[in-house]
Amino acid sequence: MIRFIIITILFVYINNIYPQQSSLSKGVNYLSGFIASDYFAGLKKTNNDLELTDTLFLRGVKFKNFDYSEALLALTFAAVPYKEVPIQIPLIGILNYPLTSASDSVFLQKNKNLPKDLFYDTPGDNYGDKDKLAHFFGSAFLSYSSNIFDLGDLIGYFVEVFEQSFKVQSYIDQRDLRTNKLGNIFGEILKENKSILPSQIMLIKSLSYFRYNI
């Protein structure tokens, strides 16, 4: 039931903002290609992953002509390391909805290039925190776009549930939920301060840890 409610709310947002969804698809494909590009791979040699996250955010905002809501949603789906999302429809069953039409080679290179070292406790393997970008930007989108109701805390779980629908994990990851909260904060601040960058909010997590654990 919770999964169905969250998916329904997401589709209400998407259908209200992008009736034809063509703009969203173009944004997701463009950002996927940007992350997979040799240019972005070259940036990885001279910039840390927080700086790369800022670069990705600014590129999305510029491509979407400073429509921050649309940019955040496109960034969310571009950062998801899956090509399709299974959507469960009552009486029909599960349909696989494509998130991007990028080629397999672009998709694989995009996943390889995704920033992964985002927090002090990022796992030291090759995957790291690559999944956290979708949590962050998705929660930021919901907070930034919720002008009437404060949906950030409630729907901050949506990427978490999204991952469970892929059977990526069968439990609620507290690190994911903390990332959701940071995304909520970013989206709220972004309403008033368009100069704020993702890295400035992501650093809150690490700074708060060292402040109380010196």
Longest dimension (CA), the chain: 55
- What pLDDT sits at residue 167? 47
Strand, helix or coil at 95? strand
- Residue 76 carries which side chain, given as an amino acid letter? T
Q: Where are the domains of the chain?
A: 2-212
CB-based contact 31:56 (threshold 8 Å): yes
100, 87, 85, 93: which is closest to 33 by C-alpha? 100
Number of residues that this document lists for the chain: 214
Query: What are the tokens at 11?
Result: 């589709």
CA atoms of 214 and 121, how far apart (whole Å): 15
Per-residue pLDDT of the chain (214 residues; tens, 9 = 90+): 444 444 444 544 555 555 555 678 889 889 999 999 999 999 999 999 999 999 999 999 999 999 999 899 889 889 988 777 666 555 666 666 676 667 889 999 999 999 999 998 889 898 999 989 988 998 898 889 876 455 555 444 455 555 555 444 445 678 888 898 999 999 999 999 999 999 999 987 667 655 555 4
Query: What are the tokens at 35?
Result: 């992350």
- What pLDDT sits at residue 104? 85
- What pLDDT sits at residue 6? 46
Secondary structure string (H, E, C) spanning 136-173: HHHHHHHHHHCCCCCCHHHHCCHHHHHHHHCCCCCCCC
Rounded (to 5) percent helix, strand, coil in the chain: 65, 5, 30
- What pLDDT sits at residue 1? 40
- With tokens 């100069």, the residue in question is 195
Strand, helix or coil at 208? helix
